[in-house]
Amino acid sequence: LAKTTQPISMDSYEGQEVNITCSHNNIATNDYITWYQQFPSQGPRFIIQGYKTKVTNEVASLFIPADRKSSTLSLPRVSLSDTAVYYCLVAPDGGATNKLIFGTGTLLAVQP
Amino acid sequence: DTAVSQTPKYLVTQMGNDKSIKCEQNLGHDTMYWYKQDSKKFLKIMFSYNNKELIINETVPNRFSPKSPDKAHLNLHINSLELGDSAVYFCASSQEGGTRGAYGYTFGSGTRLTVV
């Protein structure tokens, strides 16, 4: 499974747009890029997934360049409640045999 | 209604004791997992079960024994607890064939185990 690298932490203020970039230089052709969010004392929660180009849902946008060696999670107009750890994962289809690898994640701290 | 529920939420116990953590999912998923999150916040898979069959068994000490009585339940029993077992243990589930990459996994809220 491809290894990912992301900043350990980021700071932002309420109302700002936050972009978190993840590097995955060894991504394989059949890997998908997925982002999870984890609040303190909770399990990770799915945010968004993409394979290439751009994906947008009600929570975030995911930008993936053509070479797919990196991806950027974009959170529009963050609020205090967006303070959490954000994990970038790359993994192929695998179901029960999938050993998801969570890296260090990025701790996003949103201030008023 | 909680999708993946774990009990207990907190567990404090002495070294050498035996303890169990229970997990139940009401999503109808047929695959369940145990993950361990250490003090540095790394999440690592320990076990996965598909329809009560053990699929993944990572290099986990054999003091850890998972048990799946049915596909909605996956329990974790730990013998002879050690200080290094202190961590947060997460149960998760997914639907075989319903996952794509890392999509489709639902995690519980975790069990914080402290061994003193």
**Per-residue pLDDT tens over the stretch A7-66:** 999 999 999 999 999 999 999 998 999 999 999 989 999 999 999 989 999 999 999 999
Question: Between these two residues, B58 and A63, which has the higher pLDDT value?
Answer: A63
CB nearest B55 (choices: A92, A97, A100): A97
A42 shares contact with chain B (CB less than 8 Å): yes
pLDDT for A98 equals 77
Bond preceding residue A92 cis, omega within 30 of 0: no
Percentage of residues in chain A with pLDDT exceeding 90? 81
pLDDT for B102 equals 83
- Domain ranges in chain A are 9-111
- Phi, psi (rounded to 5 degrees) for B83: -55, -40
* A52-89 pLDDT tens trace: 989 999 999 999 999 999 999 999 999 999 999 999 99
pLDDT for A2 equals 58
Give A1's pLDDT tier (boundaries 50, 70, 90): low
CATH number belonging to domain A9-111: 2.60.40.10
Q: Confirm if A55 and A48 have CB atoms less than 8 A apart.
A: yes
- Phi, psi (rounded to 5 degrees) for A22: -125, 135
* Token reading at B15: 């070294």
B67 shares contact with chain A (CB less than 8 Å): no
pLDDT at A109 > cutoff 90: yes
Mean pLDDT of the residues in chain B: 92
Q: What is the dihedral of CA B25, B27, B33, B34, to 10 degrees?
A: -40
When pLDDT is averaged across residues B66-80 and rounded to a whole number, the result is 95
Distance CA A72, CA A74 (A): 6
- Domain ranges in chain B are 4-97
- Phi, psi (rounded to 5 degrees) for A81: -75, -5
Number of other CB atoms surrounding residue B48 within 10 Å: 28
Question: Between these two residues, A95 and B93, which has the higher pLDDT value?
Answer: B93
A89 shares contact with chain B (CB less than 8 Å): yes
Quickly name the fold that domain B4-97 has. Answer: Immunoglobulin-like (2.60.40)
pLDDT for A80 equals 97
A91/B94 Cβ within 8 A: no
pLDDT for B100 equals 79
* B97-109 pLDDT tens trace: 667 788 889 999 9
For chain B positions 5-64, those within 8 Å of chain A (CB to CB) are 31, 35, 40-45, 48-50, 55-56, 58
First vs last C-alpha separation in chain B: 33
